[in-house]
Amino acid sequence: ETGVTQTPRHLVMGMTNKKSLKCEQHLGHNAMYWYKQSAKKPLELMFVYNFKEQTENNSVPSRFSPECPNSSHLFLHLHTLQPEDSALYLCASSPEGGVGETQYFGPGTRLLVL
């Protein structure tokens, strides 16, 4: 195991629901990331947090709202999603968010929007 956990592992939600994804890393890292993985597409970086501060927002729609209360926890709040948002959402962490650092991924949350 990589030390990065994600809950829930599977989530089905309607377009009017509000839900949250949770990520926790037990590696003592200071940078955390959200990625979206869709079929037949490259992994898409969504957000980056360094030392709890958001340093990257890769033009993500506002219906996705990240929260990083501390260096070990990262949330992704979801509201009024669209069916095309169905995907595997991966969380990752790295020691300090520097260039060339290895990123460690969690198992992902598979999201289905009906």
Task: Quote the least distance from Cβ 16 to other proteins, whole Å.
Answer: 29
Give the dihedral sign, CA 56/39/103/11: positive
The site that binds other proteins (CB under 8 A) totals a number of residues, namely 29
6 DSSP 8-state letter: E
Closest among 25, 27, 28, 47 to 36, alpha carbons compared: 47
Q: Is residue 41 a contact point for other proteins (CB under 8 A)?
A: yes
Burial bucket for residue 69 (CB in 10 Å: 0-12, 13-18, 19+):
exposed
The yes or no reply on residue 87 touching other proteins (CB under 8 A) is no
Measured from the CB atom, is 40 or 84 closer to other proteins? 40
Site residues for other proteins per CB under 8 A: 2, 4, 6, 31, 33, 40-43, 45, 48, 50, 55-56, 90, 92, 94, 97-108
